[in-house]
Copies of this chain bind each other. A is one copy, B any other.
């Protein structure tokens, strides 16, 4: 073994004392390696192609699955003839609603249980049968050989029309999934006291999840045990769902995640495809690989629902918000799936306002069900609120930055006025505006617009709060310290591309004083790793980083106890000092960690860390503000974003490199919402999806993204949040982007673009 000191990066520097056993670790006052720019620990694997994603899995005798999906948004299956498909070459297994394998199996949407194979198809892409064959092509050929007779039924595609009496019903109970109302103070009264009132209707598009890696899995049975390699954000969530659907003990469903190519919320849960793969694998007694096509993912793995929002807001001349009245409609799709979830949160909680009313109506339409999409609801609400703040500012003649600073809340109003552990909203706006050069940029843009008629310029901003982001229990992490000082870190959390492995290696390295390179991470495997909730809600870092730290501290505690035997001093007198354990009272009493007798004999010390509780009566939330400068070609409607700055308060930065990349990635996704992305259903003719691929569904490309993007972390010590002081970052960074762009577009064009995305067609429509 490499027993030399090179494992330790912290040669001879003292580290903070280890806390008492059983107590939670204290807050990190200072750090050595945490917060630095450290490249990903798995960068080599990712870049070299050595990293094995579920789509890369190859097992001996593996065969391939394909799914027959209903081509109509609403239809009833009259006849399903699978006989021709069964005779196709290479076919090893076929399942459909009639087959005994699927008899009675159910699939749940929220609490709504539907048959796994439902002959009443309520959206284009509904599952009717599945085939496994020796090759992908044979599987698809067999799927095409299945003969189906449909009774095609009338459909409704538009959520604004879904509640019309004449609209076709998605479910017998009607098209209202549910409605919700939130009231604080008296919005009408508040608005009546305002000096300025504005009212507007805003629309955001349905966005489709487009992770680089397609949804899918490989399923394999060993006797009564099912192993699934799933492209997933949370292996335990997949395990739980699959064990429920297949009525198996949890221990017998092993789900392995490891590398995965993005999910953005759509991979928090498995899909029907996962169950189909498992059933086909059992029937064929072969491993089955089931990777969806991009078209299939666009039809059935979720979306950010389109929303129609009416917002009325009032302010006094001094900028004080007096009332907010918000109403929202949005579609869950064909099954309950949160069509208006969290859309009103920005309105409820971002700015100080005593009088707020938010109402929402979630409706069914004949389209694929929604799923959480990075910061669910928030960018939509932000699109409305942050544009209206600018409208109000204009109406009362105040700078938009000033108006926002005027309304910084001290507490979480929507949570009964409980305080935040920390709130950096003011600093995000102030320091962001300062570094962006807000005032100068506004001035410069106005000057530019006076002299240039073809290309107009604008600057705009938006702020945000994210509803959660403090993480919390449960989480368990185990760390094995080998006798040469190297470390194995075992956690259940997925690294969904955000750098979780890298960040956690830094946390363990910081606490143990070792180089992150000698930490090997095992993660995201229900069979072999510890428990973690899915990576979503921007909670992975604030949940797992304190847990990793606690596990590392548990390792240190045990090593100190062992070293105490060698040095014949109480463990409490000992501290970790780089590669050595040293007595605090007599620095001549010291021993190298790798020489500690019991560690050498045991071979390994294992420490376990649990995530401690969150602070009671306080809320842990990240905040942010983004600033945008852009140009619009009035002739073509083309928008060029010149620069973007994201100032985010997400507590302590653990790895600056992945932190900045999150900020940049969130902005890019926000540009998609603001300028390019929308799901187009052929509402009039067929109800079918029009843009079914990367050509027709417009994601922002490198040409749409500014070269000048700045990440400005607003770091505020947050010892109450948790022992590392980190808060979530992944979602807040995409909340205010689109609204900031819209505000800049307003400055450039004097047109208030209320309907996203503001693509050249939309711009030309107004100009």
Contacts and interface: CB of A to CB of B under 8 A. Distances in A.
Interface stretch (A127-135, A297-305, A597-605, A676-684): A597-605
With most chain B CB atoms within 10 A of its CB, the pick from A2, A250, A517, A531 is A250
B252 A222 contact: no
A528 B522 contact: yes
With most chain B CB atoms within 10 A of its CB, the pick from A1, A44, A60, A520 is A1
Nearest to A237: B603
The contact size tier of chain A is 35 or more
Interface in A570-591: none
A286 to B, nearest CB: 11
Contacts of A1: 240, 243-244, 247-250
B603 A251 contact: no
A48 interface: yes
A48 B244 CA distance: 27
A416 interface: no
Interface stretch (A345-353, A407-415, A478-486, A643-651): A478-486
A11 B675 CA distance: 63
B251 A487 contact: yes
A528 B249 contact: no
A527 interface: yes
A293 to B, nearest CB: 22
A601 B531 contact: no
Contacts of A487: 251
A236 interface: yes
A518 interface: yes
A640 B326 CA distance: 94
B518 A251 contact: yes
Given A1-B243, A250-B482, A488 B527 contact: yes
A12 interface: no
A252 B527 contact: no
A44 B520 contact: no
A100 interface: no
B223 A48 contact: yes
With most chain B CB atoms within 10 A of its CB, the pick from A58, A224, A252 is A252
Given A7-B249, A251-B488, A520-B225, A531 B608 contact: no
A45 interface: yes
A474 B224 contact: no
A518 B252 contact: yes
A527 B520 contact: yes
B222 A45 contact: yes
A574 to B, nearest CB: 21
A374 B95 CA distance: 51
Contacts of A222: 44-45, 50-51
A486 B252 contact: yes
With most chain B CB atoms within 10 A of its CB, the pick from A50, A225, A249 is A249
A530 to B, nearest CB: 7
Contacts of A232: none
A60 B50 CA distance: 11
A230 interface: no
A520 B251 contact: yes
A486 B223 contact: no
Contact of A480 (B45, B531, B606): B531
Given A1-B249, A7-B249, A603 B531 contact: yes
Nearest to A6: B249
Interface string A522-541: 10011111110100000000
A520 to B, nearest CB: 4
A673 to B, nearest CB: 33
Nearest to A56: B60
A490 to B, nearest CB: 7
B474 A528 contact: no
Interface string A240-262: 10011001111110100000000
With most chain B CB atoms within 10 A of its CB, the pick from A44, A221, A528 is A528
Contacts of A244: 1
A480 B236 CA distance: 13
Nearest to A523: B528
Nearest to A43: B223
A28 to B, nearest CB: 23
A537 to B, nearest CB: 16
Contacts of A252: 486, 518, 520
A370 interface: no
A90 to B, nearest CB: 20
A356 interface: no
Given A1-B244, A50-B223, A249 B486 contact: yes
9 contacts: A1-B248, A236-B604, A249-B484, A249-B485, A251-B488, A252-B520, A474-B603, A488-B527, A522-B527
Q: Which 6 A-B residue pairings sit nearest by Cβ, starting from the closest?
A: A528-B528, A249-B486, A251-B486, A44-B223, A250-B482, A531-B604
